[in-house]
Structure 1
Amino acid sequence: MPPTVNPLLVEFRHLSFGYGERAVLDDVSLHFPRGKVTALIGPMGGGKTTTLRLMGGQSHAWSGQMLFDGQDLGPMDQAQLYAVRRRMGMLFQYGALFADMSVFENVAFPLREHTDLPESLIRDIVLMKLNAVGLRNARHLMPSEVSGGMAKRIGIARAIALDPELVMYDEPFSGLDPISLRVAARLIRELNDAMGLTSIFVSHELTQTLEIADHVVILDQGKVAFQGTVPEVRASTDPLVFQYVNERPDGPVRFHYPAVTLEADFGLAGPTQSAPS
């Protein structure tokens, strides 16, 4: 890699953000290395999807910085932000295809929105992207005619239509059967390497996630609980990281909602105390 290229494509510096008065991310500093596949994981409500929204400029930090290739998205005007977004692709949950457009038209949409390419070239690009996800011959189908796994792959083809530098995937494995899930995971890994992408994906499916990821970030309650390599996360002795990676039902994330003791609840003799939160 040339020394002039920033090794960190995306970086959060002491970033805080929330909705209304509720903070979702609290003084978060994390990084996403260029050219790598990063898994963004952690318990529900930790701020994972919000992190993707901040990367894409859909939301703006309360404080701190969200840097893309060294540029802070916060002060950018609409034109500058629009230009940065052209360097990004996004796979939304469940594919989020336009229901009234064919598979071909869905993949062609970003090309028509962001470029002045002739239709003949758009056709060739769309077919190449669909071929990359194994669905070139599905181009005439409508979204209602494809399976959930196919919809995810069509969404991936649309996300890479503009040859972005960064591709973000929000729950790419949700709702998929084991075969489709493995296909989607393999596509994320292979497309990242073949196209020289930087890929960031949110997932709760740990087996495939840890098989394809280079870098792992675990968010919990608006804080960074862990960031590092897959071997490092597997070897971590941090109680939360250990519980999450090993899929234990109890630990820092408790099975029982905080409550008084069973004896107190049922009127039995014995001391009353609150369970630890």
Structure 2
Amino acid sequence: MDPAAQPQPFVEFRDVRFGYGERAILDGVSFSLPRGKVTALMGASGGGKTTVLRLIGGQQRAQRGEVLFDGHDVGRMDAATLYAARRRMGMLFQFGALFTDMSVLDNVAFPLREHTELPEALVRDIVLMKLDAVGLRGARDLMPSEVSGGMARRIALARAIALDPDFVMYDEPFAGLDPISLGTAARLIRQLNDTLGLTSIIVSHDVEETFRIADQVIVLANGGIAAQGTPDEVRNSSDPLVHQFVHALPDGPVRFHYPGVGIEDDFGPAHGGHP
């Protein structure tokens, strides 16, 4: 295919730098999220994964480079343009983040009531359709305290797609779920992405389930990209850090022991230890 005829990526990072003071979280990072695909963003804790989501959503602004959302630089958007862009985004927060004093129906209805002026009867119908898509229409009158962790995550997913977004971000959607709920959530993410024509990015540490549903995987490390490609390509990477992460090895470039003085300095005679 002629490269000029290929569809423009839905999200693109171009030489992005972001950090706090002298500490760079992302330093010269470039990647793209293809339209209609599921991209997994992985790496050790503190590697910049959540920062990527914040840069896409405009909560943070890149200190250098461009973050393009459907061809437009998020960093150059004014408040009204950013608000309009966010309306095209769905977000599933870690552990669901449901409003505890609202029913399941009202939780899913919240973005519709906040961003539209639809009549309440239509809001109710839309909410019931979204809940039906995640298998929880029958739970509409329950409170968050009355549902399981897996159900809460599915309710949050229904809320994330309530406005029919083009793009959905998932922040650790599998954390704390039992194997059945985890598998259900993963299948829903994949099915909804394909059925609704979404573009999705998943921040996750669950290698097996995430690799099963992702089209491409990006591994962040040390301020840059350690690996990028299909799940099989990343799984077979020869990079030591990527190999350690994918295979859950206790030691490697990411050390088990935090750097410190030698053990003899802490336990030697000068500190009351035995010679």
For the superposition of Structure 1 and Structure 2, which TM-score range results when normalised by the shorter chain? over 0.9
What amino acid is the match of 1:221?
N
The equivalent residue for 1:195 is: 196
Instruction: Note closer, same or farther for the CA distance 1:77–1:47 as it changes in structure 2 (3 Å cut).
Output: same
Distance of 2:266 and 2:126 partners within structure 1: 65
Distance of 1:75 and 1:223 partners within structure 2: 23
Query: Cα deviation per residue 1:130-167 (whole Å; 9 max; x = unaligned)?
Result: 00111001011111111111111000000001111100
Instruction: Note closer, same or farther for the CA distance 1:57–1:4 as it changes in structure 2 (3 Å cut).
Output: farther
Distance of 1:199 and 1:35 partners within structure 2: 8
Q: Percent identity?
A: 69
The equivalent residue for 2:184 is: 183
**Alignment of 1:219 onto 2:196:** no
Query: Cα deviation per residue 1:232-260 (whole Å; 9 max; x = unaligned)?
Result: 10111111111111111111111122234
**Displacement, 1:15?**
0.9
The equivalent residue for 2:144 is: 143
**Higher helix proportion, which one?**
2
Distance of 2:117 and 2:146 partners within structure 1: 30
**Alignment of 1:72 onto 2:73:** yes
Matches within 5 A, 1:61-100: 61-100=62-101
Provide the secondary structure at the position in 2 that maps to 1:161. Answer: coil
The equivalent residue for 1:165 is: 166
Distance of 1:153 and 1:21 partners within structure 2: 40
The equivalent residue for 2:229 is: 228
**Displacement, 1:88?**
0.6
**Displacement, 1:120?**
1.7
Distance of 1:42 and 1:194 partners within structure 2: 28
The equivalent residue for 1:38 is: 39
The equivalent residue for 1:259 is: 260
**Alignment of 1:57 onto 2:58:** yes
Distance of 2:21 and 2:136 partners within structure 1: 42
Distance of 1:99 and 1:262 partners within structure 2: 49
Structure 2: gaps of 5 or more residues: 270-275
What amino acid is the match of 1:29?
S
**Displacement, 1:266?**
4.1
Distance of 2:22 and 2:142 partners within structure 1: 45
Instruction: Note closer, same or farther for the CA distance 1:84–1:6 as it changes in structure 2 (3 Å cut).
Output: farther
The equivalent residue for 2:242 is: 241
Distance of 1:55 and 1:259 partners within structure 2: 37
What amino acid is the match of 1:141?
L
Instruction: Note closer, same or farther for the CA distance 1:135–1:198 as it changes in structure 2 (3 Å cut).
Output: same
Provide the secondary structure at the position in 1 that maps to 2:76. Answer: coil
Provide TM-score, normalisation by structure 2. 0.92
Provide TM-score, normalisation by structure 1. 0.92
Query: Cα deviation per residue 1:148-205 (whole Å; 9 max; x = unaligned)?
Result: 1111100000000111110000000011111111111111111111111111011111
Distance of 1:137 and 1:222 partners within structure 2: 45
What amino acid is the match of 2:67?
M
- Count of aligned positions: 267
**Displacement, 1:221?**
2.6
Query: Cα deviation per residue 1:95-132 (whole Å; 9 max; x = unaligned)?
Result: 11111111101111111111122222111110010001
Distance of 1:239 and 1:169 partners within structure 2: 27
Q: Is the 8 A contact 1:8 1:34 kept in 2?
A: yes
Q: Is the 8 A contact 1:6 1:69 kept in 2?
A: no
Structure 1: gaps of 5 or more residues: 269-277
Provide the secondary structure at the position in 2 that maps to 1:39. Answer: strand
Distance of 1:129 and 1:210 partners within structure 2: 26
Query: Cα deviation per residue 1:185-230 (whole Å; 9 max; x = unaligned)?
Result: 1111111111111110111111101111111011113211111111
Distance of 1:265 and 1:140 partners within structure 2: 59
The equivalent residue for 2:273 is: none
Distance of 1:247 and 1:11 partners within structure 2: 29
**Displacement, 1:18?**
2.4
What amino acid is the match of 2:120?
E
What amino acid is the match of 2:171?
D
